[in-house]
A and B are shown apart, each in its own frame.
Chain A
Amino acid sequence: MVVKNNSNKCLYCGACVGVCPVSALMLKDVKLVVDESKCISCGACVKICPVGAMSLDKKK
């Protein structure tokens, strides 16, 4: 399981990056980059996201 970013909902505010305990997220202007090798699926980014743009992708 890794987190997924829905770019249609995302406002690129960076709240998720701020609470990611393993620095797996990086905001690049209008792009959120997820480093899947670092993500521990803790869900902190899902919780804080003001618009529900982050989700845990169960397929992986």
Chain B
Amino acid sequence: MVETVYDVIIAGAGPAGLYAGLELAKGKASVLILDRKQEIGCPKRCAEGLSLRWFNILGLKVDPAYAIQPIHGAALYSPDGKQVMMKNKEPQGYILERKIMEKHLAIDAVKKGAKILLKHQIISAERKNGVVELKVEVDGGIQTFKSKMIIACDGIDSLVARMLGLNTKNNLNDTDSGYQYEMTGISGYDENLLHLYFGTDIAPRGYVWIFPKRDGTANVGIGIGAYEEKTAKYYLDKWIQSQPKLRNGSIIEVNAGGIPVGGFLETMAADNLLVAGDAGHMVDPIHGGGIGIAMEGGRLAGAVALRAVKANDFTMKTLAPYSKEWFTLRGDELKRRLKSRHLLEQLSNDDFNYLAHSISMDEALKIGNGTLSKTEKAILFTKKLIQRPKLVKIMMKFF
């Protein structure tokens, strides 16, 4: 029997891994996607929101099979309950049924020639004569898989990259603790909006969200700083109990996860290795969203790996440019957002209340849509800040 050496083995069949696989299969590389879990897309570690902008960037169809709830904007709530609403006429994005979307992506990747294996647990990875050898627990035994390179898309708990000498661990301070219920039988919120609740007592260094999934059903979740003494579950349960129209709902799914919100990896490549998605800390540092970013990062990793396949060179000579290319494409923008995040972290409950009460609906909409001109922005912020010296101080520090 001739031993199979794949061009690329991808660890993890999530959004990043499936996009990487699709890209490689399209380019006729031999690609195998391994996942330790028993079902693609499950359990989700995610609130399932994706903006239209990302559908466009990714060439992803707005398929009602998985894009189940149109979202027209967002409502933000200050600690004292004041609502700031940003609602557009047209949908700005969708809430996904992610397990269905990911199965669609998997079917696409396989149609193009990728192979997927589930319940395959990678327990070690080693380079041997320029080829990566994986020991994989499967069906009660251990099997060996070989490939010319690996793309690690194995989530926040990624170990494959670490096994190959690239440190992808997250610092506690740059990681949020996330917890979520998919609830049904709930009401009292506009199902066409995302709802975000702020306050240091509600969600220290984070926020509580309601992401509606139609028909009295929604992802109700929380993200908080990982160093908090009390758990994310504690804060979410406490908040839900304070909401009369939520607390009697039924929970139909429980989700949790760590969210890498700011410790970007300067180097996401090594010989025979690229990293993408949560494993590569590819998450928006402000809202903690990462589906679109992961798919885009996966697609880029797939494209770079394809160059390595074509050149038959799997060393850093071909792979090193990946990190820089990702920062140019997305990372630099996210780093700028990290600065804004640090600024937001310094706001007190009073500051949040002040901003919520002083902002007009029209201004909120323009901020939400990013349609404020530079001058308008300057005028708006000066107007708000002049009455709040502490905010000026915080701003000066960061800009």
Which residues does A use to contact B, with CB under 8 Å? 11-21, 23, 25-29, 44, 47-52
Interface string of B32-45 (1 = CB under 8 A from A): 00001110000101
Q: B68 on the interface (CB 8 Å rule)?
A: no
User: How far, in whole Å, are A11 and B158 apart by their CA atoms in the complex?
Assistant: 17
List the interface of chain B (C-beta within 8 A of A): 36-38, 43, 45, 119, 121, 123, 137, 155-159, 162, 169-172, 175, 177-179, 226-228, 231-234, 254-258, 260, 278
B residues less than 8 Å from A50 (CB atoms): 177-179, 231-233, 256-258
- Which A residues are CB-close (under 8 A) to B156? 14-15, 17-18
List residues of chain B with CB within 8 A of the CB of A19: 169-172, 175, 226, 258
Residues of A within 8 A of B155 (CB): 14, 18
**B159 and A48 contact, CB distance less than 8 A:** no
Q: A17-B157, A52-B231 are in contact. Are A47 and B256 (CB under 8 A)?
A: no
Decide yes or no: A52 and B258 within 8 Å by CB, A14-B155, A15-B175, A29-B121 being known contacts.
no
Contact in complex: B36, A51 (CB < 8 Å): no
Q: Which residue of A lies closest to B35 (CB)?
A: A29
**Do A11 and B254 touch (CB < 8 A)?**
yes
Closest 5 CB pairs of A and B: A15-B258, A14-B157, A17-B157, A18-B156, A13-B256
In the assembled complex, which residues on chain A have CB atoms less than 8 Å from the CB atom of B260?
Answer: 18
- 22 example contacts (A-B, Cβ-Cβ < 8 A) are as follows A11-B43, A14-B258, A15-B156, A15-B178, A15-B257, A15-B258, A17-B156, A17-B159, A18-B155, A18-B278, A19-B226, A21-B169, A23-B169, A28-B36, A29-B38, A29-B119, A44-B226, A47-B177, A48-B177, A50-B232, A50-B233, A51-B179
A27-B177 in contact given A11-B254, A13-B45 (Cβ < 8 Å): no
With beta carbons under 8 angstroms apart, the residue of B159, B171, B257 that contacts A13 is: B257
Closest to B121 in A: A28
Which B-chain residue is minimally distant from A26 (CB atoms)? B159
Q: Which residues of A contact B119 (CB under 8 A)?
A: 29
Given A13-B256, A48-B258, 17 more A-B residue pairs with CB atoms under 8 Å apart are A12-B43, A13-B257, A15-B178, A15-B258, A19-B169, A19-B175, A19-B226, A21-B169, A23-B159, A26-B123, A27-B36, A27-B157, A28-B121, A29-B36, A29-B119, A47-B172, A51-B233
